[in-house]
């Protein structure tokens, strides 16, 4: 059970709907998305609850967060009974989007504890729908994963829905899943950046080349290189809000030993956390998602949960530094 604080200080400024607190506190709203897209959607993954069940709240408050009560995306009984895995996944994403939209409109940084990468559709949809004057909001995506997740049903070797969400978000496949999730306008290819990807299917790689999807390397993240900051400046100039999504398989396999899809050569959580701390100082960065965390018997020593906590904490620290620097890094 999380013990959550409340933000009581008056806002010093409002920028794009996000409050900068005079106390330096960062309004943070944790959201759980327990549904996944690979089995019966009525079932739930325990990964988000596993992350919520430790001391994440204590760590985030220590990093400067003012936490709201956690909310969970839920299907109604009628929705759970509907025909179609993807339809139910889309509806679960729709409910996630409602939470993220409300958080963004009220000035809170959304941190999504996500069962799988398919939930990025709901996170993106919530930001896209959150604008007051501009609709839809122009959203950028930084997708940090060992895999590109840019397959379509025609290019996928495995057929896994979890290998397709970035392509779906870009409007290349499964249009009904995208729109049912609430993402009515595809994310423009120039507004998508892949980070630390190092395992691609051959046809997937061709699709990335065809659509000119930009990439930053593991070394760029480790060094917080000029390429990383150029990418952040470009996205900040091209979009209104930026969503950063992390699949835990991106990390060094030693930190996610229970993950079935690890790839050698990834950054440590400390290295990626250092990069996130700088990325979240950019004013347009509005939400973080952490997906596919090994849990319970797959994380008996708690190393994966600790790694996920380090990433979430680094993001909050970045936003706090943004507030302290009077609005953060600009394009």
Q: Residue 259 is part of a domain; what is its CATH number? A: 3.40.800.10
Lowest mean pLDDT among 41-50, 83-92, 149-158, 210-219: 41-50
The total domain count for the chain is 1
Tell me: pLDDT of 73 over 60. Answer: yes
Q: Is residue 163 part of a domain?
A: yes
Q: Is residue 164 part of a domain?
A: yes
Q: Is residue 305 part of a domain?
A: yes
What pLDDT band is residue 39 in, cutting at 50, 70 and 90?
confident
SS3 101: helix
Instruction: Tell whether pTM > 0.75.
Output: yes
Range of the domain at 245: 24-324
Q: Is residue 43 part of a domain?
A: yes
Residue 23's alpha-carbon distances to 158, 190, 263, in angstroms, are 49, 36, 41
Q: Is residue 307 part of a domain?
A: yes
Tell me: pLDDT of 154 over 90. Answer: yes
Q: Is residue 170 part of a domain?
A: yes
Q: Which residue has the tokens 């009515």?
A: 184
- In angstroms, the CA 329 to CA 21 distance is 17
Q: Taking a C-beta distance cutoff of 8 angstroms, is the pair 102, 122 a contact?
A: no
Q: Is residue 145 part of a domain?
A: yes
Q: pLDDT tens for residues 258-294?
A: 999 999 999 999 999 999 999 999 999 999 999 999 9
CB atoms within 10 A of CB 181: 31
Query: Per the structure block, which two tokens stand in for 132?
Result: 């007051």
What pLDDT band is residue 126 in, cutting at 50, 70 and 90?
very high
pLDDT at position 329 is 61
Q: Is residue 252 part of a domain?
A: yes
Angle at 286 between CA 283 and CA 290, to 5 degrees: 130
For residue 38, the 8-state DSSP code is: S
């Amino acid at each position: 059970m999380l013990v959550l604080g409340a933000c009581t200080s008056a806002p010093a400024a409002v920028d794009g709907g996000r409050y900068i607190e005079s106390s330096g506190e960062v309004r943070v709203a944790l959201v759980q998305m327990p549904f996944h897209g690979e089995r019966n959607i009525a079932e739930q993954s325990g990964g988000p609850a596993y992350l919520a069940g430790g001391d994440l709240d204590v760590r985030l408050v220590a990093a400067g967060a003012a936490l709201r009560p956690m909310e969970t995306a839920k299907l109604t009984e009628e929705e759970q009974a509907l025909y179609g895995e993807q339809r139910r996944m889309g509806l679960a994403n729709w409910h996630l989007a409602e939470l993220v939209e409300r958080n963004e409109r009220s000035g809170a940084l959304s941190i999504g504890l996500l069962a799988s990468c398919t939930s990025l559709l709901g996170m993106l949809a919530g930001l896209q729908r959150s604008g007051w004057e501009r609709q839809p909001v122009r959203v950028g995506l930084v997708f940090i994963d060992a895999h590109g997740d840019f397959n379509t049903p025609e290019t996928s070797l495995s057929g896994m829905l979890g290998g397709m969400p970035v392509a779906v978000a870009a409007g290349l496949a499964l249009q009904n899943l995208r729109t049912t999730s609430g993402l009515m306008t595809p994310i423009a290819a120039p507004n998508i950046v892949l980070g630390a990807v190092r395992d691609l299917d051959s046809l997937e790689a061709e699709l990335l080349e065809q659509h000119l999807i930009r990439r930053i390397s593991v070394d760029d993240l480790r060094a917080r290189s000029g390429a990383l900051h150029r990418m952040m400046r470009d996205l900040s100039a091209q979009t209104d809000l930026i969503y950063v999504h992390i699949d835990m398989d991106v990390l060094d396999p030693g930190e996610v030993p229970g993950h079935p899809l690890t790839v050698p050569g990834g950054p440590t959580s400390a290295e990626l956390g250092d990069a996130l701390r700088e990325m979240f100082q950019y004013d347009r960065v509005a939400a973080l998602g952490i997906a596919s965390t090994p849990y319970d018997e797959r994380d008996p020593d708690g190393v994966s949960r600790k790694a996920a906590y380090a990433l979430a904490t680094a993001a909050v620290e970045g936003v706090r530094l943004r507030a302290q620097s009077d609005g953060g890094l600009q394009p």
